[in-house]
Structure 1
Amino acid sequence: MANLVSSSIGSRWSLKGTTALVTGGTRGIGHAVVEELAEFGATVYTCSRNQKELNKCINEWKGKGFSVYGSTCDASSSFQRDELIRQVASTFNGKLNILVGYFFSIYLNTFMFSTHVHIYF
């Protein structure tokens, strides 16, 4: 991926000015997706159940010059899912362009049909 964004090809793929929510972004594929989106210029918000792991990843990304924010969230808790959406809406001033929802696939029915979830975008 080295310096792709600064090349002419990379400029066509620039995500500068876009916002993204990547759930489960501190490990595995989620971690790689956060990093790729940030490399292309997106401002990314991610979440994890583990605050220590989240802090470590955010510090690593900020050290690379990426614009990444995050909070803890346990997807099995409707209250925490609601709070995640509120935090993302606040951070991005209501603008969300990209959603990569890894944990939502596990809790899809709970999330999509919960009467406690309010979308603020």
Structure 2
Amino acid sequence: MDERWTLKKGATALVTGGTKGIGRAIVEELAKFGAYVYTCSRNQAELAECLKQWEGKNFKVTGSVCDVCSRTEREKLMENVSAVFEGKLDIFINNVGGGVRKPTMEYTAEDYSLTMTTNFESALHLSQLAHPLLKASKSGSVVFISSTSTLHVYVKSALYTASKGALNQLAKHLACEWSKDNIRVNVVGPSVVKTPLIESLVS
């Protein structure tokens, strides 16, 4: 396993939406490599169960409840992360995402607001909040979880795809702006993965 890649000793990481799907896989991958991981979920019971399981595997994972659609809760999340990691953060994985599967003509103002807040606004704000912590680590890394839907046409996914496209463009700008602070910014665009999100979108 160590031959694939490594992390610096004592690396710290924040993974949003880390209790299921891709987010959970990322939390466990980082923890296996010795990282101290902080994660969040909207569901208290789900978070508690995951933390219990991770403790049983001797993973160094902690977390708190947070709805990333709430600006106040995003600010509280980063305050918690700063306190736990003493003002420094090595890795920020912006994983939270969601979408409504509809023909374009059926999207409502509420659909737009929810999708853009979940997939784009939260990513921008959390990145702004994380910047001082990433800069303090002197080797920060941001990874946005996007989608291959930004390169292809997936039926009934126009709004979701547009929000992820905006995320891709944000990443490009941050990569240029924050390089002077020794912060790398990258995007990972998975294809269709069997997760609860995908199951809800195709149902």
TM-score when normalising by structure 1: 0.81
The answer to whether residue 65 in structure 2 is matched with residue 72 in structure 1 is yes
User: Which residue number in structure 2 is paired with residue 96 of structure 1?
Assistant: 89
User: Which residue number in structure 1 is paired with residue 37 of structure 2?
Assistant: 44
Q: Give the secondary-structure state (helix, strand or coil) at the position aligned to 2:58.
A: coil
Q: Give the secondary-structure state (helix, strand or coil) at the position aligned to 1:16.
A: coil
User: Deviations along 1:59-107, whole A, 9 cap, x unmatched?
Assistant: 1011101100000000111000000000000000011001111127834
Map of 1:6-25 to 2, 5 A cutoff? 9=3, 13-25=6-18
- Name the one with the larger helix percent: 2
Task: Give the conservation status (yes or no) of the 8 Å contact 1:54–1:71.
Answer: yes
Name the % identity: 46
User: Deviations along 1:10-68, whole A, 9 cap, x unmatched?
Assistant: 6x614431000000000000000000000000000000000100010011011101100
User: Which residue number in structure 2 is paired with residue 82 of structure 1?
Assistant: 75
Map of 1:20-35 to 2, 5 A cutoff? 20-35=13-28
Task: Give the conservation status (yes or no) of the 8 Å contact 2:7–2:33.
Answer: yes
Closer/same/farther in 2, CA of residues 108 and 52 from structure 1, 3 Å limit? same
User: Which residue number in structure 2 is paired with residue 112 of structure 1?
Assistant: 124
TM-score when normalising by structure 2: 0.50
Which runs of 5 or more structure 1 residues have no equivalent in the other structure? none
Runs of 4+ aligned residues of structure 1 deviating over 4 Å after TM superposition are: 117-120
Which runs of 5 or more structure 2 residues have no equivalent in the other structure? 98-115, 134-203
